[in-house]
A = this chain, B = another copy of it.
Amino acid sequence: MAERLIYLPLGGAGEIGMNAYVYGYGEPGRERLIVVDLGVTFGDMDSAPGIDLIMADVAWLEANRDRIDAIFITHGHEDHVGALGLLWPRLQKPIHCRRFTGALARLKMEEAGQPTDQLHIHAPRPAVVEAGPFRVQFVPISHSIPESSALIIDTPAGRIVHTGDFKLDGTPVVGEPFDPMMWHEIAHEGDGIKVLTCDSTNVFSPQPGRSEAILANPLLDFVTSQRQMVVATTFASNIARLRTLAEAGVAAGRKICLLGRAMRRMITVATETGILDRFPAVIGPEEAAELPRDKVMLIVTGSQGERRAASAQLSRGRYLGIQLKEGDSFLFSSRTIPGNERGVIRIMNALSESGVDLYDADDGIYHVSGHANRPDIEAVHELLKPKMVIPMHGEHMHLREHAKLAEKRGIASAIATNGTMLDLSGDAPRVVDQIETGRTYLDGSVLIGAMDGVVRDRIRMALNGHAMVSVIIDEDDNPLPDAWVELSGLPEKGRAGVPLASNLESELAEFLERADDKIVMDDDKLEDGIRKITRQVAMEEIGKKPEVTVVISRLAAE
């Protein structure tokens, strides 16, 4: 049977987050595989209450573990490396990445108690990593974290470029600039590029993207014009932004204090790995609290409204000895990711209540995106001249728009969402399989499936409340006259004006008294009857049907 080249996204295609992509080459069903990125996404109350992290379901990879040759990590963002430590035990294959990314990947492995000797650090192109039939190069590409890499994946069927996350930034402040000459070279080696798997995040942004470097002056002007304490928040991993902010603070005569573990860790890792060659000296929160307010600038985590991060803590009152007040300034040097608005607005209003002046990046002065905009994506199509474009890293609407863009230029394309396997061997992508896939949740310390029912039950309890009914059947198979009802998340009283629990208990007692032996002797029938009455009475009394758990205890004859 002829060999083929396949592509299979398990996460990140049809959503933004939890990236996990698979490439394969070989005889159908026996392809050798590599995995690109193992990221997480974050749960919310609407769809995943109580869930700590969300990642791709790698059951298919696990079932085909003997076919996997390697795992590659493109860059250090949580949505690309966050699940590495949690999912690695299911794959147990060598991990390849560059140095800074490797240091972050190492932390993920350590936190999860996994072996760090599986990590292999590589130099960028022209260095090549061999993995089965694949020859892979890490190509520096600009993004909102240093050392983001595109991958050149050379296969017997041709060259794939997997962009990872990228923007076209010639002056990214920290990290490597986008290098069009190198990409021109990559596009013209051998037979050129067969497949471009490409970031789609900003396909709806009509203007060309802007460089990180343009923020230096506006940020300096901003800090210089403030009279009291200045606080700025941004993404912890945006090392370039952190330095621009810190240098603006120093130039304005302020000492810099970093609040938030993730941010301090990022600076440490970036310094240790040589990514960051200079960063202003920082002071601790105790010293920041002692200095005159116009001599301090805080750079803090929590730009997305995260409840436990420094921004939220500061908005709620004194934090690490620092209290914001009237006349202080708070800058969001960030964009609110859709879905995080409520949390961000909560912080803004809490700061407003303390008299803090708010500044955000809505007008684009204090933030630039890390992703290629529509004209940039088009420029990359033009520069790389691939035979096919496979849009990734986007919701369905982004992938679709990106595919249209490619097709307009006469480039073959296909929308492949998570679980869709494409055959890339021919001149155009072809759907060859649909893998059953989904999401895996980290809940406390346990990995569960999104469809295990755990989250479904939580959502139902949250929407409907919960009634627990306990009945006892005696040694002679007669129900004891008292049913016991405990309510959680339900109004105490209903229409009748008496406690709902008492009302339920007397209705259930009546039912038990009248129930015939056939029902009493049968756990399922008895439970059904109890559940039905409970829901019915609740509906009459409070206008909603709670979730019901019934416990039937049968006393053993002695």
Contact = CB atoms under 8 A, between A and B. Distances in A.
B551 A486 contact: yes
Interface string A454-465: 110111011111
Contact of A551 (B352, B395, B495, B551): B551
A191 interface: no
Given A45-B49, A49-B462, 7 more contacts: A444-B491, A461-B462, A466-B488, A470-B553, A480-B553, A486-B549, A488-B549
Given A49-B462, A491-B446, A339 B338 contact: no
A494 B445 CA distance: 8
A342 B446 contact: no
Interface stretch (A132-140, A272-280, A540-548): A540-548
B488 A547 contact: yes
Contact of A466 (B345, B464, B466): B466
Interface string A520-557: 00000000000000000001001110010101010100
B397 A358 contact: yes
A465 B50 contact: yes
A446 B25 CA distance: 61
B352 A397 contact: yes
Closest 4 CB pairs between A and B? Answer: A445-B543, A444-B543, A444-B544, A458-B489
Interface in A469-505: 470, 472, 480, 482, 484, 486, 488-495
A290 interface: no
Contact of A49 (B396, B397, B463): B463
Given A461-B489, A491-B446, A544-B50, A395 B345 contact: yes
A49 B546 CA distance: 13
A345 B352 contact: no
A344 to B, nearest CB: 9
A356 to B, nearest CB: 10
Given A339-B342, A461-B461, A547-B488, A446 B49 contact: no
A443 interface: yes
Contacts of A46: 44-46, 342
Given A445-B495, A488-B547, A495-B445, A461 B466 contact: yes
Contacts of A484: 551, 553
A111 interface: no
18 contacts: A14-B349, A44-B45, A46-B46, A50-B462, A339-B341, A339-B345, A341-B341, A348-B395, A349-B396, A355-B400, A358-B397, A444-B491, A445-B494, A446-B495, A446-B542, A461-B489, A470-B551, A486-B549
A452 interface: yes
A465 B470 contact: no
Nearest to A547: B488
B544 A489 contact: no
A448 interface: yes
A446 B499 CA distance: 13
- Interface size, A (range): 35 or more
A468 interface: yes
A353 interface: yes
Contacts of A342: 44, 46, 338-339
Contact of A461 (B44, B458, B543, B551): B458
Interface string A355-396: 100100000000000000000000000000000000000011
Nearest to A494: B446
B461 A488 contact: yes
A491 B454 contact: yes
Contacts of A351: 397
A539 B339 CA distance: 30
Contact of A462 (B45, B353, B486): B45
Contact of A489 (B350, B454, B465, B492): B454
